[in-house]
Chain A
Amino acid sequence: MNAPPAIELRGLTKRFGDTLALDHVHLVVRPGAVFGFLGRNGAGKTTALRILSGLARPTEGTAHVLGHDVTGATDAVRAQIGFLPDVPGFYPWMTAREYLDFAGQLFALDRTTIDERANALLEMAGLASVTTRVGSFSRGMKQRLGIAQALINAPSLLMLDEPTSALDPIGRREVLEMVASLRGRTTVFFSTHILADVERVCDAVAILERGRIVESADIAELTARAPANRLVVELEDDGAAALVASELAGRTWLKSVDTAERTLRIAVSDLLAAQREIPAAITSAGVALRRFEIEEASLEDVFVELVGGPAR
């Protein structure tokens, strides 16, 4: 028997008064995936996560987690989920260790399991030697503790809302490595507006824009599907890029051109025409060519194409 999808949204809609936060969202996340939920700030990511975690109710449609409707989610379902909100709130008088103890007790774990997992998770979060109260933690420390508490029950589904947004580059890398290490064992569903994070660790992605899913696919499929439409030209002579750019001006297939001293990045609408005409323009400008390359489409290209602006 096939396992149910880790997450399944069908026509999920959420209104706040006149504001439509989620507009008939359909989404399926397969078990074991590391799934990026990508969108600009205000796109509706947090609203969707609040519904999935049982904190809010849909206006229309359904949301299923591990095969169960979230509106009637039992404690048994919640026991299989780990959740980190965008700004995790901790009791300031507790230590990190005490919070993990508290979380473990809510999951009715036995003392030995709590101790073992808390030790491992504090080590992973870089908080093993920290004995001060959470009230004195930096935002990054709180975020790392937030991830640790979300893993105390060894969840089947881990839902993270912007888990790296408050972290420094090293903390961000550690979190992403931790997320990647869960691949195949736990379904990870994390929302973010940082494209690089999704490209780095996710198998699949859904792009949310103004409450609607505008694309949902495996990363590889998505980038392969996007047409390559940018060329990189590197020249031998300083200042030659501007010369070639002026030669190319007015071509019908030219969408944009960015020039540096010796390099041009050329966005085109007709790749074949550009491949034919650019070398001719370089020759006509009397410039020597060092490199001429078609640039693979990135997730950013896809995102810009779909949403009309960079996520970050």
Chain B
Amino acid sequence: MTGFGAFLHKELTEIRRTWRLWVVPGILVFFGLTSPIIAALTPALVQSMSASQPGVVIRIPAPRALDAYLQFLKGLNQFVLIAVVIAGAGVVSGERASGTAILALTKPLSRGAFVVAKILSQTVLLVAATALGTAVCLGMTAVVFGEGNRAGLVAAVALWLLYATLLIVVMTLCSAAFRSRGAAAGAGLAFYFLTLLLSAWGPAARYGFVGLWPAISGALVGKGLALGWPVATAVVAIGVGTVAAVRIFERQEL
């Protein structure tokens, strides 16, 4: 892991000095701000649509803080994870294509340090941005609806972050394995949709990390899902994926 500190410092400075500082936190703050508003306005919007069709009566319960939180989680699960896939697709292949990796890796910087610093810096950015977005969501929800199940949202977001970290590792692995950013993005999207589909299959959800999908919303609504296997297998998959990404990159010629 020679050169890890210097390269991680470069990665974090790069986040601070480029578009990455604004895009991911921007998306999360946007969802934090708009989720409570969308939750508050949705019943009125649906009722106004049904009013234009005589004979149709739609009863919608009054919105609550829980709806705002679910809306926020929906944004995380759909848009933010896709953003993670797109941003992560070029994390290694981009440096390889631009020649920046060559200059750095002919110095005392190990390929392991290169890959791990990439994973860690992306994770730091995502955790910080998610914490910010979640805080904004909690605050905005309190303003619109009053207090909700704050602990439930924090637990759900923590589980989501575990899955998102796994996705970061998978994207780094794909980006190390494929020379094309498009191929890496395709593989990442395939992983995302595959895990989403598998989460509907009981045994996989009980004993594998795909169980994080139902666990995320379960934590919010208070469903007592067993988290041991999903969390443990996710942690193991993060470790295995990181080692695999390092090994793949070490074997490549630049």
| Bind each other | yes
How would residues 69 to 93 of chain A score, 1 for a CB under 8 Å from any chain B CB and 0 otherwise? 0000001101101010101111101
Report if A89-B100 is in contact (Cβ < 8 Å); known contacts: A50-B253, A57-B253, A102-B10: yes
B2–A56 touching, CB < 8 Å: no
Q: Give Cα distance in the complex from A78 to B105, angstroms.
A: 9
Q: Which size bracket describes the interface of B in this complex?
A: 20 to 34
B106–A88 touching, CB < 8 Å: no
- The interface residues of chain B lying within 8 Å CB-to-CB of A56 are 253-254
Closest to A86 in B: B99
Please tell me which one of the listed residues B7, B99, B102, B253 contacts residue A106 in the complex, with CB atoms under 8 A apart.
Answer: B7
B100–A79 touching, CB < 8 Å: no
Please tell me which one of the listed residues B10, B107, B253 contacts residue A91 in the complex, with CB atoms under 8 A apart.
Answer: B10
- The interface residues of chain A lying within 8 Å CB-to-CB of B253 are 50, 55-57
Q: Is B77 an interface residue (CB 8 A)?
A: no
Q: Is B197 an interface residue (CB 8 A)?
A: no
How would residues 116 to 128 of chain A score, 1 for a CB under 8 Å from any chain B CB and 0 otherwise? 0000000000000
Closest to B100 in A: A89
Q: Is B59 an interface residue (CB 8 A)?
A: no
- Shortest distance from the beta carbon of A144 to any chain B beta carbon, whole Å: 14
- The interface residues of chain A lying within 8 Å CB-to-CB of B3 are 75, 106, 108
Give the number of chain A interface residues (Cβ < 8 Å): 28
A55–B107 touching, CB < 8 Å: no
Q: Is the interface of A mostly helix, strand, loop or mixed?
A: loop
Closest to A79 in B: B108
- The interface residues of chain A lying within 8 Å CB-to-CB of B103 are 83, 85, 88-90, 103, 146, 149
- The interface residues of chain B lying within 8 Å CB-to-CB of A171 are none
- Shortest distance from the beta carbon of A165 to any chain B beta carbon, whole Å: 15
A93–B106 touching, CB < 8 Å: no
How would residues 51 to 62 of chain A score, 1 for a CB under 8 Å from any chain B CB and 0 otherwise? 001111100000
- The interface residues of chain A lying within 8 Å CB-to-CB of B98 are 89
Please tell me which one of the listed residues B9, B99, B110 contacts residue A105 in the complex, with CB atoms under 8 A apart.
Answer: B9
- Shortest distance from the beta carbon of B96 to any chain A beta carbon, whole Å: 9
B99–A55 touching, CB < 8 Å: no
Interface residues of A in 89-104 (CB under 8 A from B): 89-91, 93, 102-103
Q: Taking beta carbons and an 8 Å cutoff, which residues of A are in contact with B?
A: 50, 53-57, 75-76, 78-79, 81, 83, 85, 87-91, 93, 102-103, 105-108, 146, 149, 153
